[in-house]
Amino acid sequence: MGALLALSRGIDRVNKLVGRAASWLILIVVLISAGNAVVRKAFNISSNGWLEIQWYLFGAIFMLAAAWTLQSNEHIRVDIVSSRLSRRTRDWIDLLGHILMLLPFIGLMIWLLVPYVRLSYSSQEYSPNAGGLIVWPAKALLLAGFLLLFAQGLSELIKRAAIMFAGVEDDTPLHHSDPVEDEIARLVPDDVRADAEEIRP
């Protein structure tokens, strides 16, 4: 189990690094988008290449940060149900969900994407739009994102099994099921919340 946990920590470090790097692409997309808008309005100049780079970068953000999102426990889940279950039950749902649904689905996507990316690369596929960009790097990002997500799924499976069967402490970040309540809690000072708790019936 120690070797598996070391592997899990290594996967977590890589995906955290990749996810944080991908988050900086948001700034680049905003700057490119704003620049395109200014140039188009001020000089009546447009470029399919600059438009397509926005789509590519948006896809890169989504795909490369997906594994980090899973690691941070921020993917969407049905909290109205899971919040009423015991922690042990939720652990079993996570464990079986990873084994029976998440990993098989990602494995299928990787299996389908490998020949898809290989064909695009071998043909040096370009966008059909005038002045468009080469396409295979964008398709390769899909494959890279699913590979990272598969690795993170394995990492989460290892951690969940270690928690359930080896007594490892659970340090998984809690998923916030009520963002409105969280925001209120953040804005209300601690002493006011304490007073409210004292007078609550």
CA-nearest of 94, 46, 51, 42 to 73 is 94
pTM of the entire predicted model: 0.78
* Structural domain of 93: 2-74+84-169
- For residue 146, tell me if it sits in a domain: yes
pLDDT on residue 176: 46
- For residue 164, tell me if it sits in a domain: yes
Three-state SS sequence of 142-172: HHHHHHHHHHHHHHHHHHHHHHHHCCCCCCC
- For residue 79, tell me if it sits in a domain: no
Lookup result for tokens 């596929």: 125
- For residue 29, tell me if it sits in a domain: yes
- For residue 20, tell me if it sits in a domain: yes
- For residue 8, tell me if it sits in a domain: yes
- For residue 189, tell me if it sits in a domain: no
- For residue 60, tell me if it sits in a domain: yes
pLDDT on residue 124: 92
Q: Is the separation of the CB atoms in 148 and 21 below 8 Å?
A: no
pLDDT on residue 77: 64
Q: Is the pLDDT of residue 143 over 50?
A: yes
The pLDDT-based confidence of 180 (bands split at 50, 70, 90) is: very low
Q: Is the separation of the CB atoms in 49 and 131 below 8 Å?
A: yes
How many structural domains comprise the chain?
A: 1
Q: Give the integer Cα–Cα distance in Å for 125 and 132.
A: 11
